[in-house]
Amino acid sequence: MQSRMAKRLQKDLEQMQKSYADQFNVRMPNNDIKHWIVAFEGAKGTLYQGEKFELQFKFSNEYPIESPEVIFIGKPPEHEHIYSNGFICLSILFDEWSAALTVSSVCLSIQSMLSSATKKMKPPNDAEFVKRAAGRGPKSFLWSYHDEKC
């Protein structure tokens, strides 16, 4: 019998390919269902229009009860809540994770976070944080969210 994680990821993938194929492109670099790369473009009419980004999803066996680890790989967008090492300060990825959230809802949240930005800027403590984060995953941090929306 397939595990809940595998079954659920199958559904997540179907949803991404059926409903969001024009926005998000999913690939699994190692043919591993637990490791996804989601490529997308900054939405039209926003500060990031035309810029290409890639998100990396890593799922544990406990997914979706446990949140996935999500970071930007390659060049991350310049945004107040995204660190230069690709870590994303978004509460639904940590404390506010809900098992009812899906890969597509996470992607949409991140895209809407980008779209609502009014100016491009790095997080205030970017340099110090990136140095401290060397060799650690985003989930090893206690995040304090810079504002309510994030």
Partner 1 sequence: MGDDQYNYEDDYDSMQIEKQYSLQGVEILDIKDVIQEIRKDILELQEQLYFDEDNTFELLMHYNWDKEEITQKYFTNSEALLADLRMKGIVNNHDKIIFNGLKGCCSVCFVEGNLIELGCTHKFCESCIEQTIKQRVYQDKFLIVRCLQNGCNYRLPFSMIKRYSNDQEFENLLCRRFVDCSRYLAYCTGVDCNKILKPQYSSVKEVTCVCQNKFCFYCKEDLHPPCPCDLVKKWLAEIKKDEANVRWIVVNTKSCPFCKKPVERSEGCNYMMCKPPGGCGKAFCYICSQPWEPDHKDHFKCNKYVAPTANIEKEKEVLQRYNFYYERFLNSQAAKEKAMQRLKQIKEQYLTSIFKHYQFTYQDSQFLEEVMKELIQSRVVLKWSYCIGYYISKTNQQSAKLFDHYQEIFEHACETLAISLIKLFDEIEKLDHTQSDKPIHEQKKDFIEKKERIQNASQKCCKMRQNLEVAIYQGEIYM
Which residues participate in catalysis according to the annotation? 89
Which residue number, 46 or 105, has a Cβ lying nearer to partner 1?
Answer: 105
Stretch that binds partner 1, among 27-35, 96-104, 112-120, 126-134 (CB under 8 A): 96-104
Kindly tell me which residue out of 21, 39, 65, 121 binds partner 1, with binding defined by CB under 8 A.
65
If binding is defined by CB under 8 A, does position 91 make contact with partner 1? no
State the number of binding residues for partner 1 (CB under 8 A).
15
Name the residue among 57, 102, 48 with its Cα closest to residue 75.
48
Residue 94: which residues within 8 A CB-CB, separation 6 or more? 67, 139, 143
Residues 33, 113, 15, 12: is their CA dihedral positive or negative?
positive
Stretch that binds partner 1, among 28-36, 50-58, 76-84, 94-102 (CB under 8 A): 94-102
Site of tokens 């300060």:
89
Which residue number, 100 or 134, has a Cβ lying nearer to partner 1?
Answer: 100
Kindly tell me which residue out of 1, 100, 134, 142 binds partner 1, with binding defined by CB under 8 A.
100
Q: CA-CA distance, 38 to 20, in Å (whole number)?
A: 11
CB of 41 to partner 1, least distance (A): 25
If binding is defined by CB under 8 A, does position 4 make contact with partner 1? yes
Measured N-to-C along each axis, helices 4-19 and 103-115 cross at an angle, to the nearest 10 degrees, of 50
- Helices of type H across the chain: 4-19, 103-115, 126-133
User: Which residues lie near partner 1 (CB under 8 A)?
Assistant: 4, 7-8, 11, 62, 64-66, 92, 96, 98-101, 105
